[in-house]
């Protein structure tokens, strides 16, 4: 008889525990929804829309479906956005509220399906098939600083990887770049305000296809076709880029490389950022080509014969300097 009551008690406890988790998840969904609406009402410049918020009862994962965020000229969308947080972090949010929970949230995993970002002013666009983000820092501090443009009270680190990435900057030479796989790492120290211009960033892309601007295609179609590539789909094996701030406001020091079947292309120099992005200026940007393939060397030889001049080389590499607006840089003589 005692065993019977014991098992009944255990079963009743399990039912209560399960019921509590489902109730807590439902309450958390309502709490998150109310918190989002409350914060957006404070700032008319931001709009957040979604079809549903779901909180997993036992995993404490939060999923937002059909998300659209509009902040001034910036539009962000995702078919599905999922937040993977620890159970203690979930309890902090549920018991202490959104602000308390975010203030104690130091690590966060985010996954997005079909995320997109568009700048309506410059028409820049970034989109991907999938995106995974790892965040390390004080979540409340990071969120407030990002929305209000105030300095970060603590250091922030973001790591990301995605598949099927497309990056478009109209009215610039870069135009559109597509990458099969993308990795990113960025960090900013405390007391800095602008994550992109005052932080340090590293980008790695694999299996790229570059569609340059129409002006670039028309100007250099002879050379592009000479290498056997269509002018609107130039392939590369990989690319990497590292940027860090300079002593100038909105100034970045850039180091990068792009590897193709033809050669290794490296660059180092400075970019002075402007708004819109196509008005940014290149300063002292050195571009070098080295590790030539046989086909690349043959094309260079044919160009020298055709144009009756010798391409200057130093230690087996070709170098030139670019300057001027990023939308139409010129070769410095």
Burial environment of residue 29 by CB neighbours within 10 A (0 to 12, 13 to 18, 19 or more): middle
Domain boundaries, the chain: 1-238, 246-332
Specify the higher pLDDT residue, 193 or 44. Answer: 193
30 or 116, greater pLDDT: 116
Q: How far apart are CA 221 and CA 298, in angstroms?
A: 17
Find the mean pLDDT for residues 8-24. 42
Most confident of 14-23, 179-188, 191-200, 306-315: 179-188
Burial 223-233 (b: 16+ CB within 10 A, else e): ebebeebebee
Average pLDDT of the segment spanning 271-279: 81
Q: Is 106's pLDDT higher than 50?
A: yes
Quote the mean pLDDT of the chain: 82
% of the chain surpassing 90 pLDDT: 31
DSSP assignments along 43-90, one per residue: -TTEEEE-SEEEE-TTT--EEEEEEEEEETTEEEEEEEEEEE--HHHH
Does position 265 have pLDDT exceeding 50, yes or no? Answer: yes
- List % helix, strand, coil for the chain (3-state, nearest 5): 30, 45, 25
Q: Answer with the residue of higher pLDDT: 295 or 241.
A: 241
Q: Pick the residue with more confidence: 73 or 312?
A: 73
Which residue's structure tokens are 């009215």? 171
10-14, 116-120, 123-127: which has the minimum mean pLDDT?
Answer: 10-14
What does DSSP assign to residue 317? B
Cis amide leading into 276 (omega within 30):
yes
Phi-psi region of 163 (alpha: psi -120 to 50; beta: other; left: phi over 0): beta
pLDDT digits (tens, 9 = 90+) for 128-167: 999 999 999 998 888 888 777 788 888 999 999 999 999 8
**What is the Cα–Cα distance from 271 to 284, expressed in whole angstroms?**
9
Report the percent of the chain where pLDDT is more than 70.
86
Q: Once rounded to an integer, what is the mean pLDDT over residues 190-216?
A: 90
Long-range contacts made by residues 298-304, C-beta under 8 angstroms, separation at least 24?
Answer: 299/223, 299/226, 299/227, 302/226, 303/223, 303/226
Q: What is the per-residue pLDDT across 226-258, written as a single tens digit (0 to 9) for each?
A: 888 999 999 999 999 999 998 888 889 999 999
């Amino acid at each position: 008889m005692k065993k019977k009551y014991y098992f009944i008690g255990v079963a009743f406890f399990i039912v209560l525990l399960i019921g509590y988790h489902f109730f807590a998840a439902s309450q958390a969904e309502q709490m998150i929804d109310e918190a989002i609406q409350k914060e957006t009402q404070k700032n008319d410049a931001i709009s957040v829309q979604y079809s549903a918020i779901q909180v997993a009862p036992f995993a404490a994962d939060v999923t937002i479906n059909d998300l659209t965020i509009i902040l001034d000229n910036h539009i962000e969308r995702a078919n599905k956005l999922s937040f993977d947080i620890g159970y203690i972090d979930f309890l902090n949010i549920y018991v202490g509220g959104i602000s308390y929970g975010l203030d104690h949230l130091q690590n966060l995993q985010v996954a997005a399906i079909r995320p997109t970002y568009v700048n309506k002013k410059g028409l820049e666009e970034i989109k991907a098939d999938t995106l995974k983000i790892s965040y390390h820092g004080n979540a409340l501090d990071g969120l407030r600083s990002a929305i209000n443009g105030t300095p970060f009270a603590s250091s922030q680190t973001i790591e990301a990887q995605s598949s099927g990435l497309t990056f478009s900057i109209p009215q610039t030479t870069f135009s559109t770049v597509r990458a099969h796989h993308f990795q990113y790492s960025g960090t900013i120290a405390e007391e800095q305000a602008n994550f992109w211009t005052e932080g340090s960033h590293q980008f790695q892309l694999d299996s790229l296809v570059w569609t340059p601007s129409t002006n670039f295609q028309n100007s250099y179609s002879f050379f592009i076709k000479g290498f056997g590539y269509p002018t609107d789909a130039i392939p590369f094996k990989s690319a990497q880029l590292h940027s860090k701030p300079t002593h100038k406001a909105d100034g970045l020091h850039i180091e990068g490389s792009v590897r193709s079947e033809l050669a290794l292309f490296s660059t180092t120099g400075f970019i002075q950022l402007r708004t819109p992005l196509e008005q940014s200026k290149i300063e002292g940007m050195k571009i070098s080509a080295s590790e030539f393939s046989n086909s690349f060397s043959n094309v260079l030889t044919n160009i020298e014969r055709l144009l009756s001049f010798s391409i200057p080389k130093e230690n087996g590499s070709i170098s030139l300097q670019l300057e001027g607006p990023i939308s139409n840089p010129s070769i410095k003589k």
